[in-house]
Chains A and B, each alone.
Chain A
Amino acid sequence: DAGVIQSPRHEVTEMGQEVTLRCKPISGHNSLFWYRQTMMRGLELLIYFNNNVPIDDSGMPEDRFSAKMPNASFSTLKIQPSEPRDSAVYFCASSFKLAGGPGELFFGEGSRLTVL
């Protein structure tokens, strides 16, 4: 079975450029999460969607970050304009959870972003 698929795996860009990261969740999952991982701050939740609707975006650093989920099988995380401090590994993860029920979270392999 295909897991969570992320692209690109690596991105090197210059400060000020727009960056778009893509994610395809596991088929049938109803929740999608974007995380950022750095040595200093560990895994930080940026935003999550439930049934394609953004539920909590309080972790999005600032207005330069935006995320969309136009359908159940695709999501994007966009940074515009990018800054060197955005350099990190960005993970997408998905889960299937019913209200009041348990859920398991499955991660993609991550997109390593370097902003020069």
Chain B
Amino acid sequence: GQQLNQSPQSMFIQEGEDVSMNCTSSSIFNTWLWYKQDPGEGPVLLIALYKAGELTSNGRLTAQFGITRKDSFLNISASIPSDVGIYFCAGQGRIVNQFYFGTGTSLTVIP
């Protein structure tokens, strides 16, 4: 199945720093989703984006739907220890009800 290119693969940052990660695809998507997965749990939806150029925030998280509809990024501001986890992007086309996932970004926040 198709996988999205997500980068970076892992990040080690100091508490309080900002984080940025992105996802690119060779295909156009109509929906971009960002998830966080804690150890032993299922991915939890953080932000959903539905329009090219859309910028959406959820607390300290901000995500954007790229203008080309082939990319998206997620920013986390002022990171805290509970931000630790694996972040996944996912894209969905307009007709096909299938979600394609990125390879994940593992985030470690050092107190």
Residues of chain A touching chain B, judged by Cβ–Cβ distance below 8 Å, are 4, 31, 33, 42-45, 48, 50, 55-56, 58-59, 91, 93, 95, 97, 99-100, 102-110, 112
Q: Are B42 and A109 in contact (CB under 8 A)?
A: yes
Instruction: Decide if the interface of chain A is mainly helix, strand, loop or mixed.
Output: strand
- The reply to whether A110 and B45 form a contact with Cβ atoms under 8 Å apart is no
Query: Looking across the interface, which residue of chain A has its beta carbon closest to that of B88?
Result: A43
* Residues of chain B whose beta carbon lies under 8 Å from any beta carbon of chain A: 1, 3, 30-31, 33, 35, 40-45, 48, 50, 88, 90, 92, 94-95, 97-99, 101, 103-104
A106 to B92, CA, bound (A): 14
CB-CB under 8 A from B30, the residues of chain A are: 102
Q: In the complex, are the beta carbons of B92 and A103 less than 8 A apart? A: yes
Across the interface, B31 reaches (CB within 8 A) one of A44, A48, A102, A112, namely A102
Most chain B CB neighbours (cut-off 10 Å) among A42, A108, A112: A42
- Give the contacting residue for B44; candidates A103, A107, A112; CB below 8 A: A107
Q: Which listed residue (B41, B45, B98) contacts A56, Cβ 8 A?
A: B98
The answer to whether B97 touches A107 (Cβ under 8 A) is no
Contact A48 B45 (CB under 8 A): no
Contact partner of B104 (CB less than 8 A), chosen from A42, A58, A100, A110, is A42
Selected contact of B97 from candidates A44, A55, A59, CB within 8 Å: A55
Which label, helix, strand, loop or mixed, suits the secondary structure of the B interface? loop
Which A residue sits closest to B49, measured CB to CB?
Answer: A102
With A42-B103, A42-B104, A59-B1 known as contacts, the answer to whether A50 contacts B45 (CB < 8 A) is no
| Chain A min CB distance to B21 (Å) | 15
Our pick among A31, A33, A42, A56 for the contact of B3 (Cβ within 8 Å) is: A42
Bound CA–CA A111/B1 (angstroms): 22
Residues of A within 8 A of B50 (CB): 102
Chain A to chain B contacts (Cβ below 8 Å), 19 pairs: A31-B97, A42-B3, A42-B101, A43-B101, A45-B99, A48-B98, A55-B97, A56-B98, A59-B1, A102-B30, A102-B48, A103-B31, A103-B92, A105-B45, A105-B99, A107-B42, A108-B42, A109-B42, A110-B41
